[in-house]
Amino acid sequence: MTLKTDVAVIGSGLSAVALTLNLIDQLPPTAKVSLVGKAAAQGRGIAYATKAECHLLNVPAGRMSLFADRPNHFLSWLAEEGYPWSADDFVPRRIYGNYVRDCLDAALKRTGNRAALTLVDAEALSAEAEQDGGLCFALSDGTRLSARASALCTGAGTRRLPLPEEALSPAVRGSVVHDPWADAWWERLPADADVLFVGTGLTTVDQLLLLKRRGFRGTLHAVSRHGLLPQAHLAHRADPVETVLVPGQSEISAMLAALRAQATAAPDWRAVMDGLRHTTHEFWQTLSEAQRSRFLRHAASFWNVHRHRMAPAVAQEIDDLRRSGQLVIHRGRLEALRREDGRLAVDLRGGASVTADLVVNCTGLDRCTVSASPLLKSLAERGLVRADPHGLGIAVDDEDSVLAADDTSNARFFALGPLTAGRHWEITAVPDIRVQARAVATRIGALVAAG
């Protein structure tokens, strides 16, 4: 059976919901919007599916509205629900997931001059082009969905452990957690076991908080190439400082040196980083492919820990773990895993070794690539998408229309969120995604109105 819709939004996370809500507001009442994704994840994705109260947003509540034109929407929702948090507070991610889902449920109930919304509880497995420029998706429930316009909002998966499959012998595989969000692995862990986390970013921080809440007594090791933990937000955000950088006028090394000098002179370096928010895309656009490669190779890790920060209360808990000696940070790379005397011996590059009972892959979310899902593979095989040359999602043009293998754009086919990092670089946080969602919804609205 083939169903028809005006717009197919493919995905379950925040990008998909943000676009859908903007479409409902902008499309004519005769239009049909289909949000395609597993019902259990719709509105939450990986980020907001956690039930742990210790997992907080990494952005203050005052900047977390889903709507670019209604900056206080989340704050108003919190007040209506009776929550005590204000604009500077870091709210549990579980609560934010409830907010996103509430917004989606409210859109489903709207009538009158709003477009019709249907939630499709299935995954898109493949797609092929139709003669009118639209796409027809094959869904996991056996149906097909023909759409005049489509948007990919599939987000990212979990990175694999940075070891070849052959390096994981049968003797060690049972002691490796490949996806820390797949199940409650910590409930099976003895309270005095030693754990090695591969990665020192926000995913590891989340797992450390869970173990701390459970009274875990073992030693917690974490390793990454630079051994850098995310920096902390200020309790009260400082006003952003206008950047001294001018897009396109300097090499990467000179820009970073100027940024460091400005941060040193500023009352707080966070104000300098926040002052870059509205120009990051412009800077990224002025970089050559060679410059982007150098940035990703040498500076991206340092950028990420300063740009994507921890809530102050979370940072304090991580500092406490380090000061007590329970958390040990290592700088290096995973070289090998082997079983010794009933435990795991983990060799790190440079000759260091760590002994643990369990290894947990916390390398974070994978950059979206054309091999990240059956759907993207299908689209790539048909030449309907092409990969970003740096592995930062798929190629899109300035209006977020998807670029095909022959570098032509499809005006009826869009991508949002992390899939478009190759074009925008910074496109993972709510303040960035909501602006993109509104812009793409406006473009799709014009297409639908034109017939």
Position 7 pLDDT exceeds 60? yes
**What does the radius of gyration of the chain's CA atoms come to, in whole angstroms?**
23
Position 369 pLDDT exceeds 70? no
Q: C-alpha angle 176/182/186, rounded to 5°? A: 60
CATH topology of domain 2-157+366-450: FAD/NAD(P)-binding domain (3.50.50)
- Residue 200 sits at φ, ψ, to 5 deg, of -130, 25
DSSP reduced 3-state for 63: helix
> What is the rounded distance in angstroms from the CA atom of residue 93 to the CA atom of residue 51?
8
pLDDT digit string (tens) for 274-319? 888 888 888 888 888 999 998 888 888 888 899 899 999 999 999 9
Position 188 pLDDT exceeds 80? yes
- Average pLDDT value for residue range 39-52: 82
Entry pTM: 0.89
Residue 211 class from Cβ within 10 Å (0-12 exposed, 13-18 middle, 19+ buried)? buried
From residue 326, give the alpha-carbon distance in Å to each of 69, 323, 399, 413: 45, 8, 48, 50
pLDDT digit string (tens) for 217-230? 999 999 998 999 99
Mean pLDDT over each residue of the chain, to the nearest integer: 89
Note the pLDDT of residue 25.
Answer: 87
| Residues 6+ positions from 230 with CB-CB distance below 8 Å | 201, 202, 205, 304, 305, 308, 309, 310, 315
Which residue type occupies 230? Answer: P
Contact yes or no for 238/268 (Cβ under 8 A): yes
pLDDT digit string (tens) for 77-91? 999 999 999 999 999
| Residues 6+ positions from 229 with CB-CB distance below 8 Å | 200, 201, 205, 305, 318, 329
Q: Where is average pLDDT lowest: 23-32, 139-148, 230-239, 248-257?
A: 248-257
Residues of the chain with CATH 3.50.50.60: 2-157+366-450, 167-231+309-361
Token pair belonging to 51: 């039930």
Give one DSSP letter per residue of 233-281, joined into a string.
PPSSPPPPPPP---TTSS-HHHHHHHHHHHHHHSS-HHHHHHHTTTTHH
Note the pLDDT of residue 175.
Answer: 87
Note the pLDDT of residue 111.
Answer: 62
pLDDT digit string (tens) for 12-41? 889 999 999 999 988 888 899 999 998 877
Q: Where is average pLDDT lowest: 123-127, 193-197, 248-252, 281-285?
A: 248-252
Higher local confidence (pLDDT), 363 or 233: 233
Q: C-alpha angle 184/331/358, rounded to 5°? A: 25
Q: Where is average pLDDT lowest: 173-182, 393-402, 439-448?
A: 173-182
- Average pLDDT value for residue range 228-251: 86
Position 451 pLDDT exceeds 80? no
Domain 167-231+309-361: assigned CATH number: 3.50.50.60
